[in-house]
Amino acid sequence: MRFLPYVISTRRAGCAAAMVQLGECGGLPYVISKRRAGCAAAMVQLGSRLLRGRGGHVVIRFALGGCTNRPFFRIVAANSRRPRDGRYLEQLGCLDPLPNAYGEKVAGLNLERLRYWLGCGAQLSRPAEKLLGLAGFLPLHPMTVTAAERLRRRRQLEQQPEAAPADGSAEPGTGTDPAA
């Protein structure tokens, strides 16, 4: 059994918010709510309410914002069938991918809400998983390690000076002949 905060608006009961106990009844989740003795226990089928005509699952991903040549991303929990920049369930953080004056890419994360959504079974997109790995929230993504090794090798090759030919011949393409 899990307990989640849930808002119930019933005019007769007068309960605004309640702590909800989730169970399963025939494979569908249901809600049992009882805030005060005066409130009758309510049993609501969540399967039909939450998935009515929508389907899909919750994904934690980036939603693009900003202007042309100035991207800005919101880290959101959204239904998988929604468009990338469409409506989302909750904003969990933000990312500014362009380096600032100090050469830093700035990200802000609400780790408590990320923990909540991951506990509810939300899936991560690959870029979100890489960012959370770099933030130390999750283990590093394997592709992050691979990309860092490739970048390190590339920079090492660029910094090594080209070895000058030992026989004293001219550089290729200069058009000068050392024998002449």
* Separation CA 7–CA 44 (nearest Å): 12
Q: Residue by residue, what is the 3-state secondary structure of the chain? A: CEEEEEECCCCCCCCCEEEEEEEEECCEEEEEECCCCCCCCEEEEHHHHHCCCCCCCEEEEEEEEEECCEEEEEEEEEECCCCCCCCCCEEEEEEECCCCCCCCCEEEECHHHHHHHHHCCCEECHHHHHHHHHCCCCCCCHHHHHHHHHHHHHHHHHHCCCCCCCCCCCCCCCCCCCCC
Q: Locate 17 and state its tokens.
A: 């918010």
Q: Count of alpha carbons within 13 Å of 141, Cβ hemisphere only?
A: 16
* pLDDT computed for residue 42 by the predictor: 39
| Chain mean pLDDT for the chain | 73
* pLDDT computed for residue 36 by the predictor: 42
* Separation CA 156–CA 136 (nearest Å): 27
Taking the chain, what is the end-to-end CA distance rounded to the nearest angstrom?
Answer: 90
Longest dimension (CA), the chain: 108
Parallel, antiparallel, or unpaired for β 42-45 and 28-33? antiparallel
Pairwise pLDDT comparison (129 vs 29), residue with the higher score: 129
Q: Locate 72 and state its tokens.
A: 């800005």
| CA neighbor of 134 nearest in space, from 122, 148, 123 | 148
Percent of the chain with pLDDT over 70: 59
pTM of the model: 0.56
Confidence of residue 168 (pLDDT cuts 50, 70, 90): low
The per-residue pLDDT for range 125-151, each reduced to its tens digit, is: 999 999 999 999 989 888 899 999 999
Domains of the chain (ranges, CATH numbers): 2-50 (no CATH), 58-157 (3.30.1320.10)
